[in-house]
């Protein structure tokens, strides 16, 4: 392990993980919206689902699922189509949401559950790219692949706690600024547009 991985390599993985989880993407934009519309406490299951769900995905990809995509590329394309379609639907749901202003709707509406958030990682195109890229780049030894993949996943889990908390808190802060229905509508539409924009590169890859 020490022969193939150095402190500088671990530092590189940490920087890569932070750069990929902190930048805007479907997960973060949805958390920003959830923080504003539902608050921090109600968004905790959504946050935990990302923080634990994505590292689990990294482990699965690093230990063998990636090989399936190499042998059957169409499987990856099918997953991308499903994921992109789902994200378009989520963008529409966010764009038409006014729950934090309409109190009756607010009581009935629900943020992502833990399991929904975990499952969402598997239809998130950015998550697939991150998982495949990180494991392909930073696993350097066949003898230590298992341990290396788990270290990558662990670093992503720690980074995920930081990222999910930051973006959700950002939504909570925005809620103090956005007071009226018109401003909320503009915010939700903006989030929906950004979510769609974040998946455009994956659409053109199909």
Q: Which of 22-36, 44-58, 130-144, 175-189 has the highest mean pLDDT?
A: 44-58
SS3 140: coil
Reported as a single tens digit per residue, the pLDDT across 183-194 is 777 777 887 787
Q: Give the pLDDT confidence score for residue 63 in this predicted structure.
A: 84
Average pLDDT over the chain reads 82
Task: Please report the pLDDT score of residue 110 as a whole number.
Answer: 82
Domain boundaries, the chain: 29-205
Structure tokens given for 84: 């992109």
Say if residue 101's pLDDT is above 50: no
User: Region 108-134: what's the mean pLDDT?
Assistant: 87
Write the DSSP assignment of 36-58 as a string of letters.
Answer: HHHHHHHHHHHHHHHHHHHHHHH
């Amino acid at each position: 392990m020490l022969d193939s991985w150095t402190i500088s390599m671990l530092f590189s993985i940490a920087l890569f993980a932070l750069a990929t989880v902190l930048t805007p993407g479907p997960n973060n934009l949805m958390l920003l919206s959830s923080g504003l519309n539902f608050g921090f406490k109600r968004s905790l299951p959504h946050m935990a689902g990302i923080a634990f769900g994505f590292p689990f995905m990294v482990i699965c990809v690093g230990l063998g699922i990636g090989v399936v995509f190499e042998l059957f590329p169409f499987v990856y394309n099918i997953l991308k189509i499903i994921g992109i379609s789902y994200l378009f639907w989520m963008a529409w749901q966010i764009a038409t949401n006014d729950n934090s202003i309409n109190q009756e709707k607010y009581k009935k509406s629900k943020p992502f559950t833990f399991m929904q958030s975990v499952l969402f990682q598997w239809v998130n195109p950015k998550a697939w790219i991150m998982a495949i890229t990180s494991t392909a780049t930073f696993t350097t030894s066949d003898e230590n692949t298992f341990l290396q993949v788990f270290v990558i996943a662990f670093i992503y889990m720690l980074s995920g706690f930081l990222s999910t908390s930051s973006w959700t808190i950002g939504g909570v802060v925005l809620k103090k600024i956005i007071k009226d229905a018109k401003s909320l509508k503009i915010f939700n539409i903006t989030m929906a547009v950004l979510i769609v924009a974040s998946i455009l590169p994956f659409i053109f890859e199909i």
